[in-house]
Structure 1
């Protein structure tokens, strides 16, 4: 955990190693406040947020209630917002969200729960909002307000343009906010255009405010909020006015803050004995000045805040050579290790060769999207490659695709008379369900199964194209995912045990896993946690095979590793990039327009190629060899 006091930061900020530790710490603070108020014979007034950010916080509060006796009898809650219109039992309702994640699992009195009402007639909304403000005042004001933050810098649903004095009201949602919510509603066209939200002024009246943010996708807006000027174009910046506010981040969300990214510019202590830290500083300097590393001069260091590094390590030339060599040693055309070669300066071991390689893919296409070139290289170089598809990916298939495949089954059955009870019955049930399906409604089990089989067939096709044998494609269908909804269950024991069982079955010498935590739906984060927990348990149990296994983390669909973080860079030739694209195209249900594109509307193959080419261009501009594209990896030391 790191607490910042950099002169550039206008809000106290604490960075935890991960969102798990951060959520638990904040939950402990809330529990302490609840108990303190109970001891004083007073109510504890909490302002609560929704979305993926606070879910682990709520899970920890539930655990504290169920296992450590934390009572919510004295707790009164006020939620920030709700879509409008929105029925409380709708899948996307924040009423339903709060009950699923918190209220149904603790002893809070029903009368103590307050959530904006998405069913109020529009002509009565203004009166409802005034009454909501009165209820907060009558309760004594909010003791502790929990916030998340949107990409536009909104808190609650206070979109850009919201003033510091704004109160609870009906607002129109920004296009970016609606795009970000599209996955929850199975398409942007289904997202409500309006919402009821506490105002910025209402939020600022809370006695204490804690804003939470996780993942690389929040890093840029966090920097603007914490270090930028106050402006209604980024409503979260108004938190700078509050006397008792703190920002709680994981490392990824805090990555752009000056204190973490460029502490030398804030006159903060710098550990120039840390090679990784020096590499970060030198690559930053080279990119700032648009110069190759080997052309940096003493003057460049002195004039850009790095005089301390120069004083510690000597002349620029020696620093440049050291960092250049480190980056050069990350580049390898042999991701599985080069046999009979000196591997002292290579990112992977030469032996054993060939290796048993297990590539974990959260969704059925992440393997080829994010590391397809490396996958092809591993197969071409003779390694035993396995791919484990952790989830079915069934919710990311358009309804018309399910109809098309059900129709194929029915037509095939009729043509060949294979069954006494024709598949036409299945086809009619699927069509009837989908034609009468309400926006956001969970698919029937039959439809979910068809959509899962579509994704599975595409993954098999991509594996065959890449040269991975059918028996080496493993479909885990982790239970946490199988809700039929964008919102998933928490990672469970069965998910971890399935991962352990597969690892013990294959006993890999190399593991690749998705470290792409910016996935807006959270599936990548949960899948990575399952792998980490499984490996840690196996290590504790003394699994011998694990002693000879290295774990590499890839990115690509949502974010890429920073150049100074990369520990293995695999060059991809123009021909291999074309092969990678063809492997991605095998996932036909995701082609042209994926159902959940996130903020980037381009197809996944376009995003991946742009990221791979950009990485290669950065290496080139730093003075290293020029390649068509590069896939990048960071090693996890367990």
Structure 2
């Protein structure tokens, strides 16, 4: 059994972490982090068993701890890890909530852990969402007494919400708070909306362990994965203790540890601006990526174009070491400026021979024109939202562009749209005398199903099919505006997605083989995939893993040797300027045409069923991000454009990305 220190490399215990008020262990990806925590839990279970004592675990729900539970189940099956002497207490539960409902934390824990291990069900404790409101206070007191009667919690596993809540301890929760009924914050309810098929169905209350209860645990592991958590992670770890961010109370715990993947840790000072740490940061290796990041950071911070930065600017902002390592400010400025300038191209697929001019920067496989291009779109609108302008350019410039819609997106359609379309079909069929009996049956079925549908209920097969057809039609319409004909729109309907509910199946061999077959049939020169892994539902991450796994299997194919994989963002976040390797500028007309393509996704217009944490419509997010990138390039001293779509080239590092 590896010890905790054995499991964490010296790089993860870097001395620069001294600025962090909670000890942070940063892992390459969520899987490695989860395995580490599972190993610590297993070690404690075995240690308590040898001493003849029960092991008391505090458990969390949500997407963050699921890989921990997967690893614990594996250790139970393959290594004989027994949970016979384990007692568990879950952090929270919605109120009211029946245990068999889809969103129930009882059901979640059964499906992810308890049904697969040898735990005594009498030792499982989860706040009871079925009680009458007047009985909740006594239940909470009993919960506290039961924890205290066992000598307290040995290990508490925590996730963190966007507001900084732990458990359901919302902003304003006190350091001394105990298990209680609380009212959920609007942000929390918005974040949970996708699980309940709409914010209006999310319970307004919940039962949660208190901050004080959590802080009495002997060991606490705070976990966060993904770029979407990076802001609150930095505030929690490096900010002041405040009840407005309840997770900061963990700074007061002597045995709290923060467990992050690299994406969640991205805004910690050790990654965001390590040069600010001074001597405690150790000697930095000023390679090209770090140099580029530092110079752009400096120019942005003091509001100067890159070519106007002086040695005094570098010195005054803590970058003396960079100058000492890399030389004069003038040379550094010029190097980074030219690097950024080289990312800008109005020809994302390369120029034809007749359009090339002396002095043009050579592009990869420039001799191949036109190119075969495939854009993988996780949902039926990610293509035009994230890279609609680039699709327009590729099509207008004569390339053979295909769009592969990886999932149906059918759960993201409002019921009323399904009713409206069934009415349309009925009216159309009656007008032309086409089998009125079946038409009436379909319309009646849809209307009755929707009328009697319960919150969170999975749609019938007929309703799912109608919703999928709605999104297919919208996808084709948006693609046509970008210039992609119907016959080059492929609807993959990957099996992992087809559950009819927010929680999906694991990626399977069938999903990957579908992707392999599609790539083999097209043999593209360019492949575009969604790289914005902050998608709160996890679909983007799963779809990216499918494409990259398939591409990796095909890497020895002749066509694959020439193929380039580009990662786009836009729906949920944008690449930072120091990350961008291809910047495609958009004219005002192209930005308007992109907007028109996004508008074709009418079921997502005005109010999307699963909007995530951003209140803006998807077209507004896309335009704001495109314009924001263009403004930033302009402020750095580069050409001024109406908008820019940024891309990062995949380097073949499968594990690091997925």
TM-score (norm 1): 0.97
Structure 1 residue aligned with 2:39: 28
Shift of 1:494: 1.8
Cα RMSD (Å): 1.6
Structure 1 residue aligned with 2:4: none
**Aligned mate of 2:180, from 146, 155, 169:** 169
Shift of 1:142: 1.3
Q: Does 1:446 align with 2:446?
A: no
CA distance in structure 2 between the aligned counterparts of 1:19 and 1:213, rounded to whole angstroms:
8
**Aligned mate of 1:623, from 630, 634, 637:** 637
After superposition, residues 349-498 of structure 1 pair within 5 angstroms as 349-419=365-435, 421-498=437-514
Give the match's secondary structure for 1:329. helix
- The change in CA–CA distance for 1:586 and 1:206 in structure 2 (over 3 A counts) is same
Cα deviation, 1:389-431, whole Å, max 9, x if unaligned, reads 1110001100000001111111112121222643110110110
Structure 2 residue aligned with 1:195: 206
Structure 1 residue aligned with 2:103: 92
Cα deviation, 1:464-502, whole Å, max 9, x if unaligned, reads 222212221111111111111112222222222222221
CA distance in structure 2 between the aligned counterparts of 1:527 and 1:270, rounded to whole angstroms:
39
Cα deviation, 1:323-381, whole Å, max 9, x if unaligned, reads 00000000001111223458994564413221111111010000000000001111111
> 2:370–2:400: 8 Å Cα contact kept in structure 1?
yes
Which piece of structure 1 moves more, 22-31 or 622-631?
A: 22-31
> 1:271–1:277: 8 Å Cα contact kept in structure 2?
no
Shift of 1:42: 3.0
- The change in CA–CA distance for 1:489 and 1:129 in structure 2 (over 3 A counts) is same
Shift of 1:272: 4.4
CA distance in structure 1 between the aligned counterparts of 2:140 and 2:420, rounded to whole angstroms:
47
Q: Does 1:329 align with 2:349?
A: no
**Aligned mate of 2:588, from 574, 579, 590:** 574
> 2:169–2:211: 8 Å Cα contact kept in structure 1?
yes
Shift of 1:273: 3.6
Shift of 1:536: 2.4
Cα deviation, 1:115-141, whole Å, max 9, x if unaligned, reads 100011111111101111111122332
> 2:211–2:246: 8 Å Cα contact kept in structure 1?
yes
> 1:390–1:478: 8 Å Cα contact kept in structure 2?
yes
CA distance in structure 1 between the aligned counterparts of 2:414 and 2:635, rounded to whole angstroms:
42
> 1:4–1:259: 8 Å Cα contact kept in structure 2?
no
Structure 1 residue aligned with 2:245: 234
**Aligned mate of 1:68, from 55, 79, 85:** 79
Give the match's secondary structure for 1:299. helix
- The change in CA–CA distance for 1:99 and 1:291 in structure 2 (over 3 A counts) is same
Q: Which runs of 5+ in 2 are unaligned?
A: 1-8, 653-658
**Aligned mate of 1:561, from 575, 590, 597:** 575
**Aligned mate of 1:591, from 589, 605, 615:** 605
Structure 2 residue aligned with 1:53: 64
> 2:48–2:55: 8 Å Cα contact kept in structure 1?
yes
Give the match's secondary structure for 2:438. coil
Cα deviation, 1:86-116, whole Å, max 9, x if unaligned, reads 1111111111111121112222221121110
TM-score (norm 2): 0.94
Shift of 1:270: 5.0
Shift of 1:26: 2.1
> 2:182–2:208: 8 Å Cα contact kept in structure 1?
yes
Shift of 1:9: 0.6
Cα deviation, 1:568-622, whole Å, max 9, x if unaligned, reads 1000100100110111111111111111111112110011000000000000000
Give the match's secondary structure for 1:233. coil
Give structure 1 regions of 4+ aligned residues with deviation exceeding 4 angstroms: 341-348
Which piece of structure 1 moves more, 307-316 or 5-14?
A: 5-14
CA distance in structure 1 between the aligned counterparts of 2:227 and 2:400, rounded to whole angstroms:
33
CA distance in structure 1 between the aligned counterparts of 2:39 and 2:518, rounded to whole angstroms:
35
**Aligned mate of 2:265, from 254, 259, 276:** 254
